[in-house]
Amino acid sequence: MYLLLHKLFYNISPKLIRRIASSLRRSYLISNYNKGKRPFNRGETSKAKPRREQEMFFEKYCIGKGLDIGFGGDLIVPTTDGYDFEHGDAQYMKSIPDNKYDFVYSSHTLEHMNDAAVALRNWYRVVKKNGYLILYIPHRDLYEKKKTLPSFFNEDHKHFFLLNDDEDPDTLGILPLVARTLCNYEIIYAKECSRGYTVTEPNVHSDGEYSIEVVIKKNEKSETIGSNN
């Protein structure tokens, strides 16, 4: 039996070992986070805060009750509800009813969704009419600095993003994605954010901001294309 177990252990692939370790860590974190022990973790949202304060971003788009999807301990506004993996699957948001929040914000989460269009539909449906969906996603050429998966910096990334262009096999244009997914919306703005960006070497992690920011207003008669599944 010992020899069998020994042989089994040494035949387990490093990828499988990582998957098992990740699953155990995830279970541990979910247990702690559900007890209210999620710590503050300064991330991309905090990094963008000085620029957003200068632009009066919070006064314009973060009024009322908000939801921060994939917040990772770094809420866009302290009074905002956070939604992360301990709350459920962010692609479907099954526990969140339609038209619940004045604004919904997500930073560096859409690239982790298996189906970005389904996620976008569900994030949009929980926004109240005349509210805002705010997307903050890594810009392919600023962050990934390559054109095809896998990511050098996060193996869980399922998609790369550009502002306007779909490029097979792995890149989605966020504006074309919105156009084919949502109805009766208004793009308030969509822009590249690169404040403090200096690192351009392909295999070196970028500094500063390296993202695309999109603010979408949900019009009074808004709807989504297709189902939420």
Question: Is pLDDT of 171 > 80?
Answer: yes
Distance from C-alpha of 225 to C-alpha of 118, rounded to nearest angstrom? 10
Full-model pTM: 0.86
Q: Which of 2-11, 105-114, 189-198, 208-217 has the lowest mean pLDDT?
A: 2-11
Greater pLDDT, 2 or 23: 23
Whether the CB-CB separation of 181 and 121 falls below 8 Å is answered with yes
Question: Is pLDDT of 170 > 50?
Answer: yes
Q: What pLDDT sits at residue 4?
A: 52
Strands 101-107 and 66-69: parallel
- Average per-residue pLDDT in the chain? 89
Q: Which helix (H) or strand (E) holds 121?
A: helix 116-125
Q: What pLDDT sits at residue 2?
A: 44
**Mean pLDDT for the stretch of residues 57-84:** 96
Greater pLDDT, 228 or 131: 131
